Amino acid sequence: MDTIEQTLAVATEHHRAGRTTEAESLYREVLAASPGHPDALHLLGVIGLQSGRPAEAVDLIGRAVAGDPTSPLLHANLGHALHATGQTREAALSFARALTLLTNEGEGWGNVSALAGLIRRYDDETRRAAAAEVDAGYAMGDVMRRHSLLFLLDGDVAHYEALTNAVLEDPMRFTVPSIHYAFWGMAMQLFQGAARSGDAGAFQSGNLTDYYRLMVDETALRYHLRRRMKRATPRGEVRRVALITNQMLGAGHQPTADAFDFARRLQDEFGREVVIINPNAMAITGENGFVPEYSYNITEEYEGEQVIAAFGARVRMMSFPQKRFDEEKVNAIVDYVDGFDPDVIVAFGGSNVVADLFSGARPVVCLPTSSGLPLSMARLVLGYGETDTTQGWPVDMAERFRPFSFGWTLPPAGPERSRADFGIPEAGPLFLVVGNRLDQEAGPDFLALVDSLLDRLPEARIAVAGGVESLPQRIAALRNADRVHALGDVEDVRALHRHATAYLNPRRQGGGGSAAFALADGVPVVTVAAGDVATVAGPAFTVADDAAYLERAAALAGDPAVRDRQSAEARARFAAAGDRRASVERLLAYALEAQTA
């Protein structure tokens, strides 16, 4: 046995050094002495895979797995070999077995994440089969990890229903920070469109709404806030406004710019005393096994009370950068707000836990920063676009709804820049894709649509504006990769608008701000009828499906009359829907109504 292990060690050294011929010879020598040796079979199979002989690798590594079915590494490499032979379902099941073994061993997120990513590249049916394999073998008691992992694999909302049911049925099993962390994890995945099956809308208006309300109630109860908070009596006026955000991140973050803009207009144009409360209330520290692991950003320089400046204005802000949503942090926020004693609290954005903690003590108005159902316990819940409806909303929230338009303030336009200044050749139509989460939002379906458009328009180009990490690698795999330009963050996107044929919107929830700015500059928008961009752009710019999407984009590139007409409609749309001052004036009227609502 010692001789076998010594031979195997020498073979492994050759293998690591790239001397595969010598390694292969020694692995076979081990097998001659010990037929069925799992390590020798496995490593010989790895050489087969590395040498372009995947079928041989499947046979060898499969025999190794039969001899040692408890090794995650063997299952994972069998998955790679099966994938190389085109057996994708079997590959996914092997990756799932490896993932299950690692998870049951308490493995950290890194390797689990890599295996989950391998499974997620397959079609929905294969992903469901892999998730079922993991579910059948899962042996850990962490419901947060189990159900979030299964959702990550197959995107079935039923897994989040199981997670929320577990918390709703017995909330005392979970700490407040744990409930909070899982909520923001689910909210992020749903916002990014990760749901592949099940009724996500019904889940959000049902289980997730109940979960959110329980989270607010449990926070107030366990942190003893009802006794701590001061109850405000109706005052019949609005002089002091506390605008509570979920997070302020500084330059380049559109919700931060919008929060500042509402605050400075309330202060400078309408004479109110305003403070922005920046609680950093979205989860920053991992509190349970929920996957994918995540951490929302904070801006380190935003700490304590300070004055922030932008657009020639200065606004007071109080920030709480502590990284845990614990009792000490929440009590400090409550004490500060009570000390300011606002006449109204503006919950800037839905799922605003901190603002909703005050919902029983002070007038709260929810000002959503996105379309759709905003989870809120505020006295009044405003719309995002003028045509918003409450279809599918819980009855009590529908009763609190008030029509509204978010409005927009254009960023200043910089000097003229040529296409060459952006590294884009001058000739041909130019389509823009803009966003801060395009790694998640520009998925395989959208990239296939982009490729089809470029096939149809051989002179056209696509410019992708926004910080990305993984997207350029996926762009490189396109047939027309040489005509897709990933520009990264663009400081003055309006300079790019001057060269744009149209703004192309992926299927996503967000993107409303960038679409509004494109409309203001006369850039037509192409979008399906869902999400913030569709709400902002309106019916003149929405299409029914991918085929209509391609037709609209091609018409804008090929027919100057169509492009001119839609450009005029774009400017008119922004003029009608983009008046931020009018939005602030309406907000104050609703704030007064909330005093007695």
Give the integer Cα–Cα distance in Å for 60 and 263: 66
Residue 495 lies in a domain: yes
Please give the C-alpha separations between residue 279 and each of 72, 252, 274, in angstroms, as whole numbers.
Answer: 42, 19, 16
Percent of the chain with pLDDT over 70: 100
Q: Which residue in 191, 584, 597, 588 sits closest to 405, CA to CA?
A: 584
Residue 88 lies in a domain: yes
Q: pLDDT value at position 310?
A: 86
Domain containing 170 equals 142-407+581-596
CATH number, domain of 428, equals: 3.40.50.2000
pLDDT tens-digit readout, 221-258: 999 998 999 998 888 899 999 999 999 987 778 899 99
Bridge partners, 401 (sequence order): 381
Residue 413 lies in a domain: no
Give the integer Cα–Cα distance in Å for 225 and 206: 26
Please give the C-alpha separations between residue 299 and each of 187, 303, 321, in angstroms, as whole numbers.
Answer: 21, 8, 8
Local structure of 458: helix, strand or coil: coil
Tokens of 371: 């379309």
Residue 412 lies in a domain: no
pLDDT tens-digit readout, 345-362: 999 999 999 999 999 999
CATH number, domain of 349, equals: 3.40.50.11380
Question: How many helices and strands (H and E) does the chain possess?
Answer: 27, 14
Q: Both 175 and 96 in a single domain?
A: no
Please give the C-alpha separations between residue 290 and each of 25, 142, 148, 297, 534, in angstroms, as whole numbers.
Answer: 45, 9, 6, 18, 32
Residue 591 lies in a domain: yes
Residue 111 lies in a domain: yes
Q: Which residue in 541, 521, 519, 520 sits closest to 529, CA to CA?
A: 541
Q: Both 31 and 74 in a single domain?
A: yes
Q: pLDDT value at position 4?
A: 83
Please give the C-alpha separations between residue 144 and each of 99, 140, 159, 263, 502, in angstroms, as whole numbers.
Answer: 16, 10, 10, 38, 43
Report the predicted TM-score, pTM, of the whole model to 2 decimal places: 0.90
Q: Both 233 and 126 in a single domain?
A: no
Q: Both 242 and 390 in a single domain?
A: yes
By residue count, the chain amounts to 597
Q: Both 276 and 399 in a single domain?
A: yes
Residue 308 lies in a domain: yes
Three-class DSSP labels, 519-568: HHCCCCEEEECCHHHHHHHCHHHEECCHHHHHHHHHHHHHCHHHHHHHHH
Q: Both 561 and 429 in a single domain?
A: yes
Q: Both 375 and 452 in a single domain?
A: no
DSSP 373-395: ------SEEE-SSTT---TTS-H
Q: Where are the beta strands (DSSP E) in 72-113?
A: none
Q: pLDDT value at position 1?
A: 44
Give the integer Cα–Cα distance in Å for 499 and 205: 42
Q: pLDDT value at position 548?
A: 97
Residue 414 lies in a domain: no
Helices (H), 138-206: 143-154, 157-169, 176-191, 200-205
What are phi and psi for residue 361, nearest 5 degrees?
-115, -25
CATH number, domain of 133, equals: 1.25.40.10
Q: Both 399 and 497 in a single domain?
A: no
Q: Both 331 and 429 in a single domain?
A: no
Question: Over the chain (597 residues), what is each successive 10-residue block's mean pLDDT?
Answer: 78 83 86 88 90 94 94 96 97 97 87 92 96 96 94 97 98 96 94 92 95 97 94 91 93 88 97 97 87 86 93 94 93 97 97 96 96 95 92 93 94 90 94 93 93 97 94 95 94 94 95 95 96 94 96 97 97 93 97 90
Q: Both 180 and 303 in a single domain?
A: yes
Q: Both 364 and 476 in a single domain?
A: no
- The count of structural domains within the chain is 3
- Which residue among 97, 123, 140 closes a domain? 140
Q: Both 355 and 500 in a single domain?
A: no
- Which residue among 118, 140, 162 closes a domain? 140
- Which residue among 107, 124, 140 closes a domain? 140
C-beta of residue 198 within 8 angstroms of C-beta of residue 559 = no
